[in-house]
Amino acid sequence: MKSKPRALFVLLSFLLFVGGIFCAVQSQDQKEDPALNDRVKKFLDSHAGRWHDMNIPTSDGRLLYDLIIKNNYRNALEIGTSTGHSGIWIAWALSKTGGKLITIDIDEDRHKQAVANFKECGLSEFIDDRLADAHDLVKELKGPFDFVFSDADKEWYKQYFIDVAPKLEVGGCFTAHNVSGPRGGYGGIQDYAGYVLSLKNFVTTFNTVGSGVAISYKKSEK
């Protein structure tokens, strides 16, 4: 009987050891470019308080960045570029994990401004910016993706999720902006929140620090 606690201790020690190795390998895979970091920080600082046209607040940008870094995501999709604030945070994280972002916007003026912003902050090589109707393009994209950020027409949130979910890898994350909980909100937000919470193969939580972000992790295919 005395051997069981010892066996359990050995097993836990082994799991912690393996987990430590995994985290070390994961961190080694991430790259730091001091010059790029300085360039992006300088750009974001110079534009603080100047983001309009349906862009996210800085707190939500940091949240997206942290999610990607923490999970070492590499294949990202953004639905609704606006003029690029969220895309910059996402692509900045992907520059460290070795990934790339596909971002979509239907408005030509916002698209042009976003492309210029991506270039100015030095992140263009990590971004595939598309001027297109996301209603159509999201269905056509093959994936797979491990990170998705939806910040387009709220009435279409549920459909975007339905179109992307099969292309999302297990362990991947689907995030949706302006969703602070299962109730309230406008447009299709409440319908979307209720839908993702009903799915057994996803775990959804809500971050309410900024404008509200629903964070849904895919546990399994079904």
* pLDDT tens digits, one per residue of 59-113: 999 999 999 999 999 999 999 999 999 999 999 999 999 999 999 999 999 999 9
Answer yes or no: are the C-beta atoms of 117 and 88 closer than 8 Å. Answer: yes
Token pair for 195 = 């839908």
At residue 52, the pLDDT reads 65
At residue 182, the pLDDT reads 85
Place of tokens 């607040």: 57
Q: In the chain, which stretches have pLDDT less than 50?
A: 1-5, 7-28
- φ/ψ (deg, to 5) at 34: -55, -40
Token pair for 79 = 């639905």
At residue 19, the pLDDT reads 46
| Third-level CATH fold of 34-218 | Rossmann fold (3.40.50)
At residue 16, the pLDDT reads 43
Domain ranges of the chain: 1-30, 34-218
Whether residue 166 has a cis bond before it, omega within 30° of 0: no
User: pTM of this prediction?
Assistant: 0.85
Diameter over CA atoms, the chain: 72
